[in-house]
C-alpha cells in the first residue's frame, strides 16, 4: 500500500541553548519565510527554559515547538519534572519520549516511556517515541528484535486513535558522525512499518517514522529519500540555523 505521509524534521537541542540561541531561531525563521516553502513540517525541541519563547517566536514562520521529555503524571510532588500539560501550556505540540540518552542516563524502561507517551496524548501533544539498538546489539544481529520489543513496550494502545511519531535512532549513530548504510536504514524502517501495521492496521501505515543519528547537511538528502523514512530527528546539526535549514531543504 502506498500512503503519502507528509515529512517532518524535528530538531532536538538537548541541553543546549539559552535565550541567546533565539537568534538562531530568528535566522531559521528568516530562511524558511524567504526561501522556497519547506516541504516538511518543522519542529524544534529546545530546553524547557526557552520552550515558550521558541513556540511564540517560531509560530509566524510555521516552526512548531516540542518538549524533550515529560513526566507520566499530570501534576504532583515530582521536583524538577515537567508534566505534559505544562509543555502544552508553554506552546508545545510535540514531546520527545524515550530518547536513548534518557533511557541510558535515567534508566527509563519501555513501560515508563509508554506511560509518558500516554500522558503526552492526554495533554494533546504528539509524542515522538524513540527506539534504537546499541552497537553491541547490532553486531550480534539483534537490532530488529530489540527495536520490535521497544516498539511493543513503548507505544501505547492509544496510538490507534491518536497521532504518535516513531523515531528510529541507532544509539551508536547519535552524536558520533556514523550512520547506518541506506540499506540498513531501509531494512529497519520496513521492519518498524511492518510492526506498526501489524498492530494498528491502516493507522500504522500512516505513522511517521523518523530517522535520527548523525543526520547532517551532507547526508540528509540520501537518507531522507530512503523508503519509509518520513523525516528526521536532528541533534547537533539542528543547533545552527544554516545546517538545519539545509536538512529541511533536503526533503
Ligand atoms: P545527533 O543526535 O543528530 O547529534 O546524532 C540525534 C538525537 O539524539 O536525536
Q: How far apart are CA 158 and CA 115, in angstroms?
A: 11
- Identify the DSSP state of 204: G
The cell numbers describing 202, all together, are 491502516
Q: Is the CB of 235 under 6 A from ligand 1?
A: yes
Give all domains of the chain, ordered by start, each with its CATH number: 8-71+81-249 (3.20.20.70)
Is residue 36 within 8 Å of 251, Cβ to Cβ? no
Quote the ligand 1 centre to 97 CA distance (angstroms).
14
Query: What's the pLDDT score for residue 36?
Result: 83
Query: What's the pLDDT score for residue 3?
Result: 63
Quote the ligand 1 centre to 217 CA distance (angstroms).
13
Q: Is the CB of 108 under 6 A from ligand 1?
A: no
Is residue 186 within 8 Å of 223, Cβ to Cβ? no
Task: Return the axis-axis angle of helices 143-154 and 182-200, rounded to nearest 10°.
Answer: 40
Provide φ and ψ at 125, rounded to 5°. -95, 160
Q: How far apart are CA 67 and CA 38, in angstroms?
A: 22
- Ligand 1, residues 8, 12, 132: which to mutate, most atoms within 8 A of Cβ? 12
Which atom of ligand 1 is found nearest the CA of 234? Answer: 3
Quote the ligand 1 centre to 175 CA distance (angstroms).
5
Query: What's the pLDDT score for residue 4?
Result: 85
Which atom of ligand 1 is found nearest the CA of 174? Answer: 5
Please state the pTM of the whole predicted model.
0.98
Query: What's the pLDDT score for residue 1?
Result: 44
In the chain, which stretches have pLDDT less than 50? 1
Quote the ligand 1 centre to 236 CA distance (angstroms).
6
Which residue carries 524533550 as its cell? Answer: 68
Q: Is the CB of 191 under 6 A from ligand 1?
A: no
Catalytic residue set = 99, 169
Is residue 62 within 8 Å of 38, Cβ to Cβ? yes
Which atom of ligand 1 is found nearest the CA of 216? Answer: 3
Query: What's the pLDDT score for residue 182?
Result: 98
Which atom of ligand 1 is found nearest the CA of 213? Answer: 5
Q: Is the CB of 100 under 6 A from ligand 1?
A: no
Strands 63-67, 92-97: pairing is parallel
Amino acid at each position: 500500500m502506498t500512503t503519502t505521509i507528509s515529512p517532518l524534521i524535528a530538531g532536538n537541542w538537548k541541553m543546549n541553548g539559552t535565550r541567546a540561541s533565539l537568534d538562531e531561531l530568528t535566522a531559521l525563521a528568516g530562511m524558511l519565510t524567504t526561501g522556497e516553502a519547506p516541504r516538511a513540517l518543522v519542529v524544534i525541541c529546545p530546553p524547557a527554559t526557552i520552550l515558550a519563547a521558541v513556540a511564540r517566536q517560531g509560530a509566524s514562520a510555521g516552526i512548531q515547538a516540542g518538549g524533550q521529555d515529560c513526566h507520566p503524571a499530570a501534576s504532583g510532588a515530582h521536583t524538577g519534572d515537567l508534566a505534559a500539560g505544562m509543555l502544552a501550556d508553554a506552546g508545545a505540540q510535540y514531546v520527545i519520549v524515550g530518547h536513548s540518552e534518557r533511557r541510558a542516563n535515567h534508566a527509563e524502561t519501555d513501560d515508563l516511556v509508554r506511560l509518558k507517551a500516554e500522558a503526552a496524548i492526554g495533554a494533546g501533544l504528539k509524542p515522538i517515541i524513540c527506539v534504537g539498538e546499541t552497537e553491541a546489539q547490532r553486531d550480534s544481529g539483534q537490532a530488529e528484535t530489540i527495536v520490535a520489543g521497544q516498539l511493543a513496550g513503548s507505544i501505547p494502545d492509544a496510538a490507534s486513535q491518536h497521532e504518535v511519531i516513531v523515531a528510529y535512532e541507532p544509539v551508536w549513530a547519535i552524536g558520533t558522525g556514523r550512520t547506518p548504510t541506506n540499506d540498513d536504514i531501509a531494512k529497519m524502517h520496513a521492519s518498524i512499518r511492518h510492526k506498526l501495521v501489524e498492530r494498528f492496521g491502516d493507522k500504522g501505515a500512516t505513522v511517521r517514522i523518523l530517522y535520527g543519528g548523525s543526520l547532517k547537511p551532507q547526508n540528509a538528502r540520501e537518507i531522507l529519500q530512503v523508503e519509509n523514512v518520513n523525516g528526521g530527528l536532528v541533534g547537533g546539526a539542528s543547533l545552527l540555523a544554516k545546517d538545519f535549514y539545509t536538512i529541511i531543504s533536503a526533503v
